[in-house]
Structure 1
Amino acid sequence: MDPSVLEATRLWTLAVPTVSAFVTSLVREFQERDDVLQETAVAVLESFGRYDPAQSFVGWAIGIARNQVRLHFRRKSRERIAFDSDAVDALARAFVDQTPHDPRLDRLAGCVEALDSRSKELCRLRYEQDLKPASIGERLGVAANAVAKALQRVRDRLRECVERKGMEAGA
């Protein structure tokens, strides 16, 4: 699979709760809300090449969701629009401003970087390519149970590393 698609999917998965809350705050009907969220996901993936990694992905995705909400209300113009464009913009800014950056993610990235190459490869296969232990075992020529145990040991090391770095940082 294309690495940019994997990265877009990973970032989208992390952003979905906030983007969904934003869309939910504007679109009341469940089915319509689900449609807007799906249209947003498609637009995010189609537009990912224009995303600037120096900026907040959540903020960028909320900008796309804001446009999708506007399109939704335009299509429903036969009904009364609940929010005007300025209100939608203000709400989008509020959601972006409220999205906290979790320092544990930075610590986790450092911990993953410090892993040996085999452990990194296991993580890549499991979490980037979303392979199950049985599939990883087939690729590497080891039993699925051995892969599952190795992944558990890697997760334990990562958790300990993140906790240690947090204590060192005084968090």
Structure 2
Amino acid sequence: MAEDNKLARLGEADFMRLLLQHENALRAFARSLLPDWNAVDDVFQDASVIMWKKFDQLDTGDGFLPWGKVIVRFHCYRYHEQKKKSGAVFSNELIAILAGEAENLEDAEYSQRHTALASCLEGLRETDRELVLAPYLGHGRIKELAEAANTSANSLYKKIGRLRDRLRQCITSKMVSPLSS
């Protein structure tokens, strides 16, 4: 009877709402533990399936984010264990330290950082925005842009570094004084 009551409180729609509400925070948490966004996609997909299967463990939606982070962290550990065979990866100790740091960031802070990043990206010229996003849009994108601009990929990476510094400063200023945006 208690089990039926629990399921009546949290159903499929609740799971989808909570997953979508916390997806950015869970992905950001996974990214703090994984080498790239492709790995995040793989881990998040696997973790989402497990969250769905074990969703009946939650009595209310209030604990969804910490509960989801535990599942994501476990899948990040699994990812690194599988990759150890093919080369250098983070040690379990480093992953635990990174996970602890990332868990301390509240969901609201992830949302605030995401909003600040979007605002700061909008403040860049279109060509700079395209350049700073290029490493995330696929392998070889920097090389294509370098060839189109008749410059070296190395010089573009240096420019990306400077643009990232600008974005970091912009985000920091918006996080300190969010009303000034």
> What TM-score do you get using the length of structure 1 for normalisation?
0.51
Amino acid at match of 1:16: E
Given that 1:63 and 1:92 are in contact with CA atoms closer than 8 Å, whether structure 2 keeps it comes out as: no
1:69 corresponds, among 50, 53, 76, to 76
1:47 corresponds, among 42, 45, 54, to 54
CA distance in 1, matches of 2:93, 2:53: 26
Given that 1:15 and 1:58 are in contact with CA atoms closer than 8 Å, whether structure 2 keeps it comes out as: yes
1:21-51, Cα deviation, whole Å (9 max, x unpaired): 1111222233222111111111111111112
Report the counterpart of residue 80 of structure 1 in structure 2.
87
Given that 1:18 and 1:95 are in contact with CA atoms closer than 8 Å, whether structure 2 keeps it comes out as: no
CA distance in 1, matches of 2:60, 2:33: 27
Amino acid at match of 2:39: E
1:41-90, Cα deviation, whole Å (9 max, x unpaired): 11111111112437531111111000111111122221335322233233
Q: Which runs of 5+ in 2 are unaligned?
A: 1-7, 110-181
1:6 corresponds, among 10, 13, 36, to 13
CA distance in 1, matches of 2:101, 2:60: 21
RMSD, aligned α-carbons: 2.5
Identity of aligned residues (%): 21
Amino acid at match of 1:76: K
> What TM-score do you get using the length of structure 2 for normalisation?
0.48
1:22 corresponds, among 2, 23, 29, to 29
Distance 1:82 1:75, change over 3 A: closer
CA distance in 2, matches of 1:92, 1:57: 17
SS at match of 2:85: coil
2:96 corresponds, among 89, 94, 98, to 89
Given that 1:19 and 1:58 are in contact with CA atoms closer than 8 Å, whether structure 2 keeps it comes out as: yes
Distance 1:52 1:85, change over 3 A: farther
Number of matched pairs = 101
Distance 1:99 1:77, change over 3 A: same
Given that 2:34 and 2:40 are in contact with CA atoms closer than 8 Å, whether structure 1 keeps it comes out as: yes
CA distance in 1, matches of 2:46, 2:98: 19
CA distance in 2, matches of 1:4, 1:64: 19
Distance 1:80 1:46, change over 3 A: same
1:126-161, Cα deviation, whole Å (9 max, x unpaired): xxxxxxxxxxxxxxxxxxxxxxxxxxxxxxxxxxxx
Amino acid at match of 1:94: E
SS at match of 1:92: helix
SS at match of 2:35: coil
